[in-house]
Amino acid sequence: MIVVMRPTATQDEVDGVRRTVEEHGLEAFISVGEERTVIGVVGSDLESVAHLGTLDGVEQVIRISSPYKLASSEHQVERTRVRVNGVELGLGQELVVMAGPCAVESREQLMQTARAVKREGARVLRGGAFKPRTSPYAFQGLGLPALKLLHEAHDEYGLPVISEVVDPKDVPAFEEHIDVLQVGARNMANFVLLKAVGQSRRPVLLKRGLSATIEEWLLAAEYILSAGNPNVILCERGIRTFETATRNTLDLSAVPVLRSRTHLPIIVDPSHGTGHRALVAPMALAGAAVGADGLIIEVHPDPANARSDGDQSLGFEEFGALMDELRRLQFVRSADATPAPALAPAGQDGIGDIRDRIDDLDARLGEMVQERAALALEVQRRRETGAHGHDVRRERALLERAAAATSGPMTPVELTMVFDALLRASRSVQRRHAQSVTEAEAAATGSGR
Ligand code: PEP
Ligand code: MN
pLDDT of residue 254: 98
Q: Which residues of 233-243 are buried (b: 16+ CB within 10 A; e: fewer)?
A: bbbbbbbeeee
Q: Which residues pair with 440 in a beta bridge?
A: none
Please tell me the residue having the least CA distance from ligand 1 atom 3: 102
Which ligand 1 atom lies nearest to the CA of residue 184? Answer: 8
Q: Is the CB of 101 under 6 A from ligand 1?
A: no
Nearest-ligand number for the alpha carbon of 128? 1
Q: What is the DSSP letter of 49?
A: G
- Kind of pairing, strands 37-42 and 27-32? antiparallel
Measure the CA–CA gap between 36 and 271, rounded to whole angstroms: 53
* Res. 401: pLDDT tops 70: yes
pLDDT of residue 136: 93
Q: Is the CB of 275 under 6 A from ligand 1?
A: no
* Stated pTM of the model: 0.76
Which ligand 1 atom lies nearest to the CA of residue 185? Answer: 8
Q: Is the CB of 184 under 6 A from ligand 1?
A: yes
Please tell me the residue having the least CA distance from ligand 1 atom 9: 185
User: Which residues are found with C-beta within 5 Å of the ion, ligand 2?
Assistant: 102, 309
Q: Output the average pLDDT for the chain.
A: 92
DSSP strand E in 101-220: where?
124-126, 161-164, 180-183, 204-207
Q: How confident is the model at residue 445 (pLDDT cuts 50, 70, 90)?
A: confident
Cα three-residue angle 259-265-269, rounded to 5 degrees: 95
Q: List, in order, residues 6 or more apart from 114 with CB less than 8 Å away.
A: 100, 125, 153, 156, 157, 159
Which range is least confidently modeled, 98-102, 346-350, 420-424?
346-350
Q: What is the DSSP letter of 315?
A: P
- Provide φ and ψ at 229, rounded to 5°: -105, 110
Please tell me the residue having the least CA distance from ligand 1 atom 6: 184
Which ligand 1 atom lies nearest to the CA of residue 308? Answer: 3
